[in-house]
């Protein structure tokens, strides 16, 4: 056995314990930091304004519509269009899978719920990955672009290191080139993946030799023909992949600004300050840093703990320590409440639609 195989096997056995250890360590640290912010100051958090929270829940779900549209466009570009109702159902039900450790359950749920629509598991899984990575890619670019609005709220040592425009623009160029290359590579891999995971047809005489098939004399010539394997690219690429990528960038920019508006509404549910639209770039940059950081932390289900820690750090100087803790927790509650409500409603509201249409 090659040495790298042994190393990979050892890492595979150690990774679950390492992942849970990191997750618990982050949770403990974030909880300790939040408690220190809460108890170290005498200020009293403002009372909740529920109308802002309700608006935040609504806007948080509207912000995912561009993601659903883009996912559907990716599947259509690979020759597997799906009805809007089924895409919505699969998307929101799969979103709850991100809270299961590993970040792969969402892919499984979405692929399974689109199987009745004629979308292969390979196509569904690949487009979920492409959609997610494109979303994170655009969020990273926005966080870099909006750094002037976010930087003053960071610790000084981070601002001194990341405030160099040359470094920031160089990093942005690297992210752009890397994202475009990854998109092209993943889209071109569809045919190879479909062929790899396609179930190979059994030879026509195999079942007869095994004693499980019918007598060949009783079969017609048409029945004895070997089954034809489906061509995974029969209806492929109805739209140029580059055009799909550019469309994804545009719709995800709108989606991230909606996520920033969700944060702004959540902030105003606990803040007595008047509404100021000039804070919108700060809200969007802050939520981009938090969500992208939570995604990169693969050991944290749904970015739990990591997202809250980043939000508290960025909001402390803007709102105050106690409000920062409350908003970080409330934003998680806003997202989770909207996702559960949408998933339950769509799962039972449109269940079986694709089967009825097929019949």
Q: What is the 3-state secondary structure (H, E, C) of 109-168?
A: HHHHHCHHHCCCHHHHHHHHHHHHHHHHHHHHHHHHHCHHHHHHHCCHHHHHHHCCHHHH
User: How far apart are alpha carbons 30 and 300 in whole angstroms?
Assistant: 13
Q: Pick the residue with more confidence: 330 or 205? A: 330
Domain that holds residue 315: 46-200+233-358
Written as one string, the DSSP assignment of 67-89 is: HHHHHHHHHHHTT----HHHHHH
Residue 56 scores a pLDDT above 90? yes
- Asked if residue 344 is part of any domain, the answer here is yes
Q: Domain for residue 35, yes or no?
A: no
Average pLDDT across the chain, whole number: 76
Other C-beta atoms closer than 10 Å to the C-beta of 155 total 10
Lowest mean pLDDT among 33-37, 112-116, 235-239, 341-345: 235-239
Task: Give the total number of structural domains in the chain.
Answer: 1
Residue 38 is assigned to a structural domain of this protein: no
State how far the Cα of 350 lies from the Cα of 359, in Å rounded to an integer.
16
The crossing angle, in degrees rounded to 10, of helices 121-145 and 280-296 is 130
Q: What is the model's pTM?
A: 0.76
Give percent above pLDDT 70 in the chain: 67
Residue 261: the pLDDT is: 95
Which of 11, 248, 282 lies closest to 135 in space, CA to CA?
A: 248
* 40 or 109, higher pLDDT: 109
Nearest to 346 by CA among 110, 89, 114: 89
Determine the Cα–Cα distance for residues 47 and 57; give it in Å rounded to an integer. Answer: 18
Question: Mean pLDDT over residues 177-192, rounded?
Answer: 75
Asked if pLDDT for residue 354 goes beyond 60, the answer is: no
Return all residues near 347 (Cβ < 8 A) that are at least 6 apart: 89, 93
What's the mean pLDDT in 24-38? 67
Structure-token pair, residue 338: 């909207």
Q: Is the pLDDT confidence value at 195 over 60?
A: no
Q: What is the pLDDT of residue 281?
A: 94
* pLDDT value of residue 325: 87
In a domain, 238, yes or no: yes
Residue 17 resides in a domain: no
Instruction: Give domain status of residue 225, yes or no.
Output: no
Lowest mean pLDDT of 60-69, 91-100, 207-216, 334-343, name the range. Answer: 207-216
Tell me if 223 is assigned to some domain: no
Cβ partners under 8 Å of residue 77, min gap 6: 187, 236, 237, 238, 239, 241, 244
Question: Which range scores top for mean pLDDT: 10-14, 283-287, 323-327, 343-347?
Answer: 283-287
Q: Span 229-242, mean pLDDT?
A: 48
Q: Is the pLDDT of residue 163 over 80?
A: no
Please, which pLDDT band fits residue 350 given cuts at 50, 70 and 90?
Answer: confident
Nearest-angstrom CA–CA distance, 22 and 219: 62
Q: From CA 34, how far away is CA 305, in angstroms rounded?
A: 11
Q: How far apart are CA 359 and CA 352, in angstroms?
A: 11
- Is 63 contained in some domain? yes
Q: What is the mean pLDDT of residues 245-260?
A: 90
């Amino acid at each position: 056995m090659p040495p790298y195989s042994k190393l990979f096997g050892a890492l595979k056995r150690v990774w679950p314990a390492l992942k849970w250890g990191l997750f618990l360590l982050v949770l403990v640290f974030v909880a300790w930091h939040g408690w220190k912010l809460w108890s170290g100051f005498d200020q009293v958090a403002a009372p909740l304004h529920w109308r802002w929270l309700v608006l935040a829940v609504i806007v948080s779900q509207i912000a995912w519509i561009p993601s659903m549209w883009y996912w559907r466009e990716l599947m259509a570009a690979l020759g597997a269009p799906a009805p809007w109702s089924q895409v919505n159902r699969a998307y929101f039900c799969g979103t709850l899978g991100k809270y299961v450790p590993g970040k792969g359950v969402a892919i499984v749920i979405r692929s399974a719920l689109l199987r009745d629509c004629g979308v292969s598991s390979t196509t569904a899984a690949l487009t979920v990955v492409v959609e997610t990575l494109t979303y994170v890619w655009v969020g990273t670019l926005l966080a870099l672009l909006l750094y002037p609005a976010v930087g003053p709220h960071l610790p000084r040592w981070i601002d001194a290191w990341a405030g160099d425009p040359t470094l920031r623009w160089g990093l942005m160029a690297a992210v752009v080139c890397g994202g475009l290359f990854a998109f092209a590579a993943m889209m071109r891999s569809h045919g190879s993946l479909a062929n790899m995971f396609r179930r190979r047809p059994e030879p026509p005489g195999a079942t007869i030799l095994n004693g499980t098939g019918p007598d060949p004399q009783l079969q017609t010539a048409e029945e004895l023909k070997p089954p034809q394997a489906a061509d995974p690219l029969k209806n492929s690429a109805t739209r140029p992949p580059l055009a799909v990528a550019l469309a994804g960038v545009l719709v995800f920019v709108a989606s991230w600004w909606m996520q920033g508006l969700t944060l702004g509404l959540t902030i105003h549910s606990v803040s007595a300050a008047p509404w100021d639209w000039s804070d919108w770039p700060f809200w969007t940059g802050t939520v981009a840093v938090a969500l992208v950081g939570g995604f990169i932390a693969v050991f944290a289900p749904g970015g739990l703990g990591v997202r809250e820690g980043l939000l508290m750090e960025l909001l402390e100087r803007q709102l105050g320590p106690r409000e920062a803790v409350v908003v970080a927790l409330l934003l998680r509650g806003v997202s989770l409440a909207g996702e559960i409500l949408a998933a339950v409603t769509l799962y039972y509201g449109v269940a079986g639609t694709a089967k009825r249409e097929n019949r």
